[in-house]
């Protein structure tokens, strides 16, 4: 098998052959660097026991590397113009299945049940940047039976995901991600490894799923977090009172009972603080 999917010359050739034009609105920036492709698979620690769900295979560059290491790869691609290309580029691999569709509208549990035959499930993707956050939110919120998520994202988004309390990037995305996972930035990726080159630098981030989620009503918790960060400049007392529509006096009592200063701002609260606040609030109308 001639491994050349990442050679820029080959990418141009195959795209020309099928008359393919990159779609900016679908976030199509294809990898053209074999080292990066190999490293992503290594970071995801793909072995022949694993089933991989890939989102957005493009012309199959990363898919091929995953197929060489995994038991099975199921890849969901939205752009039907890529389907005949993928058929050609991945024909040597009988452990790859391509599903046509928009990952945001698909029942991922069903994909896993119907197309993956047990074994740990790992998600790997070079994500389209226009929908990074909704895709990650969907993967985390749906209580899928997955082991880890390794994704290439815009550097700035990756930094927000792993940010700690007190830092400028810390916000509701950081709390959301660390509610479900232990996040790590694994690698910096320059713009030059993509065709066409994006405007921003990227990072590969690994989200290791928590085996047990914090014991709290998730609806209440995320409403509290969104309210707290919705008005970053306000004190936690004012932000929660206006965001949740709850009397200031009630919020003050909750915070004081937890020894949390009413003057503190959301960016200085840890995930444990948000959990305690959510557990202590009176029932909300949501």
Task: Give the nearest residue (CB) to ligand SAM.
Answer: 56
**Pattern 206-235, ligand SAM, x by CB under 6 A:** ------------------------------
Is 27 a residue that touches ligand SAM (CB under 6 A)?
yes
Provide the minimum distance between the beta carbon of 77 and ligand SAM in the complex, in angstroms, as a whole number: 5
Q: How far apart are CA 155 and CA 94, in angstroms?
A: 34
* Residue from the set 15, 44, 55, 67 that interacts with ligand SAM by CB under 6 A: 55
Q: How far apart are CA 77 and CA 126, in angstroms?
A: 12
Instruction: Tell me, letter by letter, the H, E, C secondary structure of 33-86.
Output: CHHHHHHHHHHCCCCCCCEEEEECCCCCHHHHHHHHHCCEEEEEECCHHHHHHH
Q: Is 1 annotated as a binding residue?
A: no
Provide the minimum distance between the beta carbon of 27 and ligand SAM in the complex, in angstroms, as a whole number: 5
| Chain Cα centroid distance, residue 226 | 19
Nearer to ligand SAM, 41 or 172 (CB): 41
Length of the chain: 286
Q: How far apart are CA 269 and CA 214, in angstroms?
A: 16
Residue 36 to residues 103, 126, 187, 211, Cα–Cα distance (Å): 24, 11, 9, 29
Beta strand pairing call for 51-55 and 202-209: unpaired
Q: Is 126 annotated as a binding residue?
A: yes
For residue 159, the surrounding DSSP H or E stretch is helix 155-162
* Residue from the set 131, 205, 251, 269 that interacts with ligand SAM by CB under 6 A: 131
Q: Which stretch binds ligand SAM (CB under 6 A): 25-33, 185-193, 239-247, 249-257?
A: 25-33
Nearer to ligand SAM, 36 or 277 (CB): 36
Of residues 62-101, those binding ligand SAM (CB under 6 A): 62, 76-79, 82
- Burial class from Cβ neighbours inside 10 Å (0-12, 13-18, 19+) for residue 213 reads middle
Phi-psi region of 58 (alpha: psi -120 to 50; beta: other; left: phi over 0): left
Q: Which stretch binds ligand SAM (CB under 6 A): 22-30, 153-161, 208-216, 218-226?
A: 22-30
Is 26 a residue that touches ligand SAM (CB under 6 A)?
yes
* Binding residue positions for S-adenosyl-L-methionine: 29, 31, 56, 77, 102, 126
Which stretches of the chain bind ligand SAM, using CB under 6 A? Answer: 26-31, 55-58, 61-62, 76-79, 82, 102-104, 126, 128, 131
């Amino acid at each position: 098998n001639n491994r050349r999917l990442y050679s820029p010359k080959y990418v141009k050739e195959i795209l020309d052959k099928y008359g393919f034009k990159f779609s900016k609105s679908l976030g199509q920036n294809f990898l053209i660097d074999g080292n990066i492709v190999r490293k992503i698979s290594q970071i995801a620690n793909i072995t022949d026991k694993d089933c991989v769900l890939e989102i957005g295979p493009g012309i199959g560059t990363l898919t091929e590397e995953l197929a060489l290491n995994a038991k099975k790869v199921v890849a969901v691609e939205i752009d039907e113009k890529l389907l005949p290309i993928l058929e050609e580029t991945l024909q040597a691999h009988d452990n790859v299945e391509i599903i046509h569709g928009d990952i945001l509208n698909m029942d991922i549990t069903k994909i896993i049940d119907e197309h993956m035959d047990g074994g740990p499930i790992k998600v790997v993707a070079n994500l389209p940047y226009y929908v990074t956050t909704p895709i990650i939110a969907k993967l985390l919120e749906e209580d899928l039976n997955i082991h880890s998520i390794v994704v290439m994202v815009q550097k700035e988004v990756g930094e927000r995901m792993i940010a700690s309390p007190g830092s400028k990037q810390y916000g509701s995305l950081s709390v959301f991600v660390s509610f479900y996972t232990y996040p790590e930035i694994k690698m910096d990726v320059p713009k030059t490894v993509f065709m066409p080159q994006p405007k921003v630098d990227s990072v590969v981030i690994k989200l290791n799923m928590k085996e047990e989620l914090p014991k709290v009503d998730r609806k209440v918790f995320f409403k509290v977090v969104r309210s707290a960060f919705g008005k970053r400049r306000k004190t936690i007392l004012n932000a929660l009172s206006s965001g949740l529509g709850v009397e200031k006096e009630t919020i003050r009592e909750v915070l004081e009972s937890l020894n949390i200063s009413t003057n503190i701002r959301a960016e200085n609260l840890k995930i444990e603080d948000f959990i305690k606040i959510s557990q202590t609030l009176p029932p909300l109308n949501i």
